[in-house]
């Protein structure tokens, strides 16, 4: 069952104007053309944010279904926490996964694209606003075999080096990658999440690095492993 959890947004109010001079022989005159001070982060109406996230739920369910359709082993499932930055006009500047154990970049991208299409409230008291929530869905088939990072064998070092290169090139700070490995040691799929928006460009790069390698066999059924690199 697809679940969501909403985290309330907050805003940073603009600083108070300096107090006027009380001297009787001085009059405060605003500077001509002075810019209006606006906070960078505004508040988003919580009910409208919740409605936007709820409206996306059915399409996000379809994202998971589409990734499992056609797979020999329907193992794609997990949780994803997303962060949305909403511009002044209510459109999305960016959205990214800040945490994910889904293990499918296609699924994660489908979820992010779905959220971009939603109607978002305009920020109040600031130029832009943030919204976040979490979605989760169990895989429709048998759960994959849980792996520890050490189970990746010799490929672990190559994978971590590749991810670090992706992070450095993107200018990010940290990345978490989840990978499925089939009984022959071939990657079924991989997905990733980043600590902040600076790492968005590292996502596809890290998935390519993971899916280009071969791994030890997990046995007769696929495995699932999450690797955290900072």
The kind and range of the H/E element at 156 are: helix 155-170
Q: CA–CA distance from 155 to each of 95, 194, 210 (Å)?
A: 31, 22, 9
In the chain the domains, ranked by start, together with CATH numbers, are 1-10+40-142 (no CATH), 144-230 (3.30.1150)
Q: How confident is the model at residue 161 (pLDDT cuts 50, 70, 90)?
A: very high
Q: Output the CA torsion 118→79→161→67 (10° steps).
A: -70
Q: What is the pLDDT of residues 113-148, one digit of tens each?
A: 999 999 999 999 989 999 999 999 999 999 999 999
Q: How confident is the model at residue 15 (pLDDT cuts 50, 70, 90)?
A: very low
Q: What percentage of the chain exceeds 70 in pLDDT?
A: 83
Angstrom distance (rounded) from CA 14 to CA 49? 22
User: What local confidence, expressed as pLDDT, does residue 41 receive?
Assistant: 85
- Mean pLDDT confidence for 200-204: 98
Token digits for 190?
């991989």
Angstrom distance (rounded) from CA 71 to CA 69? 6
Round the average pLDDT of the chain to a whole number and report it: 88
User: What local confidence, expressed as pLDDT, does residue 70 receive?
Assistant: 84
Angstrom distance (rounded) from CA 171 to CA 115? 25
Looking at the predicted structure, is the pLDDT value of residue 46 above 60? yes
């Amino acid at each position: 069952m697809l679940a969501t959890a909403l985290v309330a947004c907050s805003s940073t109010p603009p600083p108070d104007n300096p107090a006027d001079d009380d001297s009787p022989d001085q009059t405060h005159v605003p500077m001509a053309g002075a810019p209006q001070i606006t906070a960078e982060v505004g508040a988003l109406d919580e009910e409208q944010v919740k409605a936007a996230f709820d409206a996306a739920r059915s399409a996000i369910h379809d994202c998971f279904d589409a990734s499992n359709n056609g797979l020999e082993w329907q193992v794609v499932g997990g949780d994803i926490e997303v962060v949305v930055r909403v511009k002044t006009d209510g459109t999305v500047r960016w959205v990214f996964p800040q945490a994910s154990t889904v293990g499918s970049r296609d699924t994660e991208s489908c979820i992010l694209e779905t959220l971009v299409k939603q109607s978002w409230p305009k920020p109040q008291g600031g130029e832009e606003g943030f919204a976040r929530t979490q979605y989760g869905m169990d895989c429709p088939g048998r759960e994959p075999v849980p792996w520890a990072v050490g189970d990746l064998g010799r490929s672990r070092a190559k994978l971590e080096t590749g991810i670090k290169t992706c992070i450095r090139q993107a200018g990010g700070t940290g990345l978490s990658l989840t990978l499925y490995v089939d009984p022959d040691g071939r990657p079924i799929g991989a997905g990733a999440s980043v600590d902040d928006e600076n790492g968005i460009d590292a996502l596809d790069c890290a998935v390519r690095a993971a899916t280009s390698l071969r791994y030890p066999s997990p046995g007769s059924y696929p495995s699932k492993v999450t690797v955290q690199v900072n």
